[in-house]
Amino acid sequence: MNTTELSAAQIAAQVAAGAITAENVAGDHWARIEKVEPRLKAFVTLLKEPSLAQARAVDVKRAKGARLGRLAGVPVALKDNILLKGVETTCSSKILKGFRAPYDATVVERLKAEDAVFVGKTNLDEFAMGSSTENSAFFPTANPWDTDRVPGGSSGGSAAAVAAGCCPLALGSDTGGSIRQPAAFCGVVGLKPTYGLVSRYGLIAFASSLDQIGPFTRTVEDAALALAVFAGHDPRDSTSAAEPPARALKGLAGDVKGLRIGLPREYFIAGMDPEVEQSVRAAVELLKSLGATVRELSLPHTKYAVATYYLIAPSEASSNLARFDGIRYGFSQRQAQSLEEVYEASRGEGFGPEVKRRIMLGTYALSSGYYDAYYAKAQRVRTLIARDFAQAFKEVDVVAAPTTPTPPFRFGEKTGDPLAMYLSDIFTIPSNMAGNASLSVPCGLSRSGLPIGLQLIGPAFGEGTILRAARALEAAKPFAKIDEMRPSLAA
């Protein structure tokens, strides 16, 4: 048995039953990683020996008759902006090169408590700022479906690792679509939980009112399992919701008969790839055939979402990234002659072009005389976007839409035009602005064999409903495996 073909739930169940060992699971996944990683470049840090030691510890625990966790022996990858104690955490930025995490993120603590095995830290757009993983300071990550194309971003390394069979579960962060967009590009499930449902303690901040940690998996069941493990209140995160995770997962079981699905007019726009629209509408029709009802609706302030996001997120980034000054940790240019020059040289050399661009945008929007005209106005528009969703969810249970306007694009196709790159997240940004639950689930392939994602958006703490709809679609229309489409990545 090649355990790289098993889901996280299947691995945990078989390890607990003694049908397979955690060490064998780890060995299979390391063979896969070593085969595909030279072309994929999904990881910035590999943890082979520590992960094998973790796996052996799981097997010893079982041999002693101790209760095993819900993720016993499951290989997990972490986006490299999530702290894993003692392991280098860089955010794929030169300015954090050499920084070792002094503690575990809350999500890591909860994964460890359930006997997960950590195989590595994955590549991302620097400080999670990007939509293609081309902004990594180290190297770009390739899309497993076509290595000439991007995996999406900013969590491209996590999405690619799961899609290629390097691990059945990886964590990412989503500020404006950074889980859902790469999930769509790589043909996997990507869940952005309700803001506050998952602790941000130990996540290196980009935009604190938008960031949220979530899972990448190959099955909807695994996404629900992962969320059940690491969701829940954390007193160390002041924005953590007091709601128990059980509420979010309520309604997960069952079919979609009577489920009310809304199709927003504003998400089916001129310029969208016709193959994307065709696949998304076909997926919605399939859900309708399974008993759901479908109606058109309007989210009128959607057209302002991208502009609003690129005032709010850079403003928060400008504040959050001020801590990286070349003094306390990470890269420092010590040849400077004064403290001010240390700051200027360290940040000038340590940050990449996209990070600098967003810091400057945010600093300008927050500056004296412009705050009310830009940042404050953007926050008022954000409220209108949230109200649109609140009104919609009085009439429907789920909003269905494309995850991305196009299938995955080629390397270099958008790097010369920042606005074109920003528009890759046009359909995902509104959910972050409103704080809603949302996910991307594979719904088809383009004629050239590239994945297309359906986005399902629910109200706050509506994870159970959108996961139920995604699972119904998954059962009715199983998605192709990469190895069936791309023999070059076959194990």
The catalytic residue positions are 79, 154, 178
Q: Is cis: bond before 131, omega within 30 of 0?
A: no
CA pair distance 225, 223, nearest whole angstrom: 5
Q: What is the DSSP letter of 198?
A: B
Tokens of 137: 């300071």
CA pair distance 6, 25, nearest whole angstrom: 10
Task: Assign residue 98 a region (left: φ > 0; alpha: ψ between -120 and 50; beta: otherwise).
Answer: left
Buried b (16+ CB within 10 A) or exposed e, 270-290: eebeebbbebbbebbebbeeb
Tokens of 82: 């999530």
CA pair distance 32, 35, nearest whole angstrom: 5
CA pair distance 405, 375, nearest whole angstrom: 27
Which H or E element spans position 37?
helix 22-40
DSSP 111-145: HHHTT-EEEEEE--SGGG--SSSTT-SS-PPPBTT
Among 179, 194, 174, smallest CA distance to 435 is for 194
